[in-house]
Each structure stands twice: as structure tokens, then as C-alpha cells.
Amino acid sequence: MFQFNYKLKVAERVKAKCERHPRYNPEREGRGGIKGGCSTCFSLFDLHQARLSLDAAHREFLRRATPWSQLRQPRNRTSAPKQKDPPFGSQPL
């Protein structure tokens, strides 16, 4: 039997812009919006494409693996029944 534990957490935030082309947005303009063959703009575009590829690979993995995965059930935590406190202000006789 094949067992595969999978846990992915990507917690990376990138806030970057080109000094020569501060208005370049790789999401809207794509590769065609890069002016003058700027290497920084190409790097921003490549970073955006890598993020899209990672997201697509994650969705594809979940789509293919979900039918064979087993959902983890929470543990049944049985503890001794707790005694209820008497109502406020009441005193035992």
C-alpha cells in the first residue's frame, strides 16, 4: 500500500516593482507589456507565472488525490462528567 502525507503551506508575500518601470503589472500586461527588455520586469513576470503554475499544480493534485484520500475524523474525547455548580446565591442545607 502506498501512503503519502501531504501538507502544503505557502506563506510568502512578495511586494516588488521595477525601479525603471514602476507601473508595470505582470498580471494585467503580461510579457507584452515589458518595455526595452528590462530584466527586472522579466523577473516579475516569471515570478507571477511561477505562482500561477504552483496554484494550478496544487488544484490538479487535489482533484486527482481527493477520491482516494480519507478524511481524518476528530478524536472522541471522553472525559468524566463534570458536576454542575449550584446556582449563584444558593447554599446547601
Integer CA distances (angstroms), 40 to 14, 37, 76, 88, in order: 14, 9, 54, 69
Domain ranges within the chain, ordered by starting residue: 29-68
pTM given for the model: 0.63
| pLDDT tens by residue, 19-74 | 999 999 999 999 999 999 999 999 999 999 999 999 999 899 888 888 777 777 78
Amino acid in position 33: G
| pLDDT tens by residue, 38-53 | 999 999 999 999 999 9
**Mean pLDDT throughout 4-20?**
82
The predicted structure's pLDDT at residue 45: 95
